[in-house]
Copies of this chain bind each other. A is one copy, B any other.
Amino acid sequence: MTIDFPAWLQATQAQAEAAVERYLPTESTGQETLHEAMSYVSVGGGKRFRPLLAAAAARLGAADADALSAAMAAIEYVHVYSLVHDDMPEMDNDSMRRGKPTCHIQYDQSTALLVGDALQTLAFDVLSRPVNLPAMQQLKRVQVLARASGSLGMAGGQGIDLANVGKDLTLEQLQHMHSLKTGALIRAAVALGGLSCADVSETLLNALDVYADKLGLAFQVIDDVLDCEQDSATLGKTAGKDEEANKPTYVKLLGLEPARAQAIALAQEAKAAVASYGEAADALLGLADYVIQRNH
């Protein structure tokens, strides 16, 4: 590897943070609390994994800086909106997230509902502002994010999850649920990174999609492994909740060590999909290792 991955990671997380802050509304005309809460849940937290993926993918072409910034922010806004709504009492009823009180605890449920709604809208707002890319490609970016987030993507995975609490899923069913609930947005992040480059080819987009598909699955398997292993303090969210709610997990289906081995194999497959792109793919390779090695 020719990039200094830890340095790239640090610089790109700062870039993600700046992108997330950049588009948040700064002026209010009576909706100060809403805007403050949108900032509370968005700024200064999380690994920024999806923006990192977008930035890593954008290294494979000549990325437009504003287009990449918009992609990084939009994908994170969708992710954060989903966390805010998932944490609400009618969903997972979580009180801590990213080491601080969840939105409905810090504010109230009506504000949390509205914050999630407005962050989703902001994602599409940001992605539809003209940047230095062909208009058709910008429209495709909106389409990619919408398909990944909706009832055939992330929200659909959430729907499947809701429909199966307390039920035994097969490995295939579990994988399908996660491919929508988590995988779809990870694939969108990588695609939006690629689509920040006016010179992106279909071949490259296809290779990126294989990478993202495998990595998204590895990410989820490791998430289950971590949830099983870690305590609340290290994880920054309420641990052991999945088991508590009798939700299906890879660890339950495969066992702890086989699940970890599966994640490692998937990360290898992800890396293989983009290996032919040489040094430009270094950040993508580094992120695949990062997923396997992370402990929170």
Decide yes or no whether A135 CB sits under 8 A from chain B.
Answer: yes
Interface residues of A in 125-151 (CB under 8 A from B): 125, 127-130, 134-136, 138-140, 142-143, 145-147, 149-151
On chain B, the residues within 8 Å of A193 by CB distance are: none
**A28-60 interface with B by 8 A CB criterion:** 28-35, 38
- Give A14-32 interface residues, CB cut-off 8 Å to B: 25, 28-32
In the complex, how many angstroms separate the beta carbon of A189 from the nearest chain B beta carbon?
16
**Quick one: given A90-B108, A90-B113, A173-B30, are A149 and B135 in contact (CB under 8 Å)?**
no
Chain B residues with CB below 8 A from A159, complex form: 30-31, 33-35, 111, 114, 118
Q: Are A122 and B151 in contact (CB under 8 A)?
A: yes
A112 / chain B contacts, CB cutoff of 8 Å: 90
Task: Report the interface size for chain A: residues with CB under 8 A from the other chain.
Answer: 63
A265 on interface, CB distance cutoff 8 Å: no
Copies in the complex: 2
In the complex, what residue of chain B is closest to A144 when comparing beta carbons?
B128
Contact indicator B118/A31 (Cβ below 8 Å): no
Q: Mark A77-107, 1 if CB is under 8 A from B, else 0.
A: 0000110010010110000000000000000
Given A90-B109, A120-B121, A121-B155, 11 new contacts (CB under 8 A)? A28-B156, A29-B160, A30-B160, A30-B177, A90-B112, A91-B110, A114-B159, A117-B120, A122-B146, A125-B143, A130-B139
When distances are taken between beta carbons in the complex, the residues of chain B under 8 Å from A114 are 85, 155, 158-159, 162
Contact residues in B for A82 (Cβ distance below 8 Å): 117
